[in-house]
Structure 1
């Protein structure tokens, strides 16, 4: 049994891996993170090798290594958690996910595999076809 865990989060407002990748590349060090209202209860496991898996248009397509958690106090005085994320953005095999709010934990054995560097989708399929096949559960 793995001694780490991952998170899954919807990537709202992003239409493609390439769009998210451009945001990641442009983000300065201090801004490389995602702020959420809740502090993960499994903090130790997340920081022991976990990643944040991004759901883009209903399909997990990418992940980023979780490098740390930081407390952020908003202008409203509410404590929040910034999940500090590493570069690069790593393309993963497509895995369909239904809409949900917030984030969810993801066990390592349920996480989609990383694609080999340079591969843009599953074995030579156009991204749209790969996404459609993932949506119907074929890949």
Structure 2
């Protein structure tokens, strides 16, 4: 089995992890089989490594704050006839330790060794610190 790799992606339009969760819940309302899916223009060349245990790490307001396990990649043909990649994820959103990340376009690969750890049990439901404060704490190694 191949070593896994992760993706990191900007969570455009969301102000918080709660916004992401709410958006995904609303998209799947009424369909018990629905799974969150993010459609992207490019197809990852490292597909086998992504589905071997990888996650999509979400950047919210300048910092990685959460991840979702990648289950599979689906082909999605747009109305324009162009083939795109649907990254299908598990429903559960895992909050992570804050990791500052500069803006970028598309997605980037993220090695497991460089991925922020999940928050410890009991801290997942805590109110998130303001993004700027959280980023500053992470920069100096406190959070």
TM range, smaller chain: 0.7 to 0.9
- In 1, Cα distance between the equivalents of 2:124 and 2:70? 22
8 Å contact 1:69–1:81 — kept in the other structure? Answer: yes
Partner of 1:138: 140
State the partner residue of 2:119.
115
Quick check: 2:42–2:85 contact (8 Å CA) kept in 1?
Answer: yes
Q: How does 1:20-99 map to 2 (within 5 A)?
A: 20-28=20-28, 29-30=33-34, 32-99=36-103
Report what 1:106 is aligned to: 110
Are 1:7 and 2:16 an aligned pair? no
What RMSD in Å do the two structures reach over aligned CA positions? 2.0
Q: Partners in 2 of 1:126 and 1:19 — Cα distance? A: 12
The runs of at least 4 aligned residues of structure 1 exceeding 3 Å deviation read none
C-alpha displacement at 1:126, in angstroms?
6.0
Is this contact kept in 1: 2:63–2:98, CA < 8 A?
Answer: yes
Give the number of equivalent residue pairs. Answer: 134
Deviation track 1:84-121 (CA, whole Å, cap 9, x = no partner) reads 01021000000000000000000000000000233148
Per-residue deviation, 1:32? 1.2
CA distance in 1, matches of 2:136, 2:124: 15
Residue 25 (structure 1) shift: 2.9
For normalisation by structure 2, the TM-score amounts to 0.86
